[in-house]
Amino acid sequence: MRVLVGGEGLEVARRLVESIEQGSDGQRQRLRESGALKARPSVKLLAPSPKPAVFFAHGQAYHSHARDWNADAPREKPAHPPVGFLKAQSSIIGPDEAICIPRAAPDHVDFEGEFSVVFGRPCYRVSRHEAMDYIMGYTIVNDVSARDWVLKMIDPENKIGANQLRGLNSMFKSFPTFAPMGPHIVTVDEIADYRDVRLVSRLNGEVFQDAMLGELIWDLPELIEYYSSCTAFKPGDIMTTGTPGGVGAGRKPPVFLKPGDVVSISATSLGELVNPVIAE
């Protein structure tokens, strides 16, 4: 993936969009007839970065998510560093594509709305002070999870070690279709302060997650500094920033995805990522 800085061309594109938005109905109709302007429902959007060399997911991102599992979870910043894992590139799908509940894990599939970073420059061993300069833009990722397996990690009877835990986390968050992404990438200059972004996840129209990015335990510069200390990100690579509280598994009783459901995740200035749910 190559990222090109727009310069004058970007400004021309912006003026064109403004002209279309402000134009008359007659002008828009002529553009439609010419094929230059298409109605959104007639266009299939693909995942905006479908083949990242590195697809890195961050966990334990919000205190509210820790309380999904433990109401008495500490509210202080933990002493340990951030916890991350890789998701399979093959799990990525685009907007409106179906999340497929796998036969191997049919009963406890959950969703996790996540604000995500798209890198625009090679990023390796960068400091937190320069980290934001390596971001090209932002998108939304749904970190779909097979809790059948993930719940084993927090079951004390299983006594799963940290390395096994992270291995399971990566493996059972990587089923095909388990990473809806989109609906597009918003360039970093369009968002003055990512901490003011509101992230909302809905299941069948009901709000499950509602948080501000300012609630992150580790901010973006810290995450990029830490993960780039051992990972060489390239343009187009993705790093999620983790999910807030409100996931289905944290409810009493738990709520898991089933065929016929619709998951929608929205974020300020990023639009809405919508995916139906089907059985394999």
Please state which of the ranges 14-23, 116-125, 159-168, 215-224 shows the lowest mean pLDDT: 159-168
Which position has the higher pLDDT, 17 or 137? 137
Token digits for 136?
A: 């090209």
pLDDT of residue 242: 92
pLDDT of residue 184: 94
Which position has the higher pLDDT, 113 or 59? 113
Q: Tell me: the pLDDT tens digits for 132-178?
A: 999 999 999 999 999 876 555 555 555 555 555 555 677 889 999 99
The average pLDDT across 2-7 equals 59
Domain ranges for the chain: 1-43, 45-279
Strand order in the sheet with 83-86: 83-86, 55-59, 238-240, 113-119, 135-142, 179-187, 92-93
**Statement: residue 125 has pLDDT above 90:** yes
Confidence of residue 9 (pLDDT cuts 50, 70, 90): low
Q: Tell me: the pLDDT tens digits for 84-101?
A: 899 999 999 999 999 999
Strand pairing of 271-279 and 262-267? Answer: antiparallel
pTM of the model: 0.85
What are the CA-CA distances from residue 98 to residues 143, 163, 224 (Å)? 14, 31, 31
The average pLDDT across 241-247 equals 91
Based on C-alpha coordinates, what's the Rg of the chain? Answer: 20
Which position has the higher pLDDT, 42 or 2? 42
d(CA 183, CA 40): 12
Token digits for 80?
A: 């340990």
**Statement: residue 66 has pLDDT above 80:** no
Q: What is the mean pLDDT of the chain?
A: 87
What's the CATH code, domain 45-279?
3.90.850.10
**Statement: residue 128 has pLDDT above 60:** yes
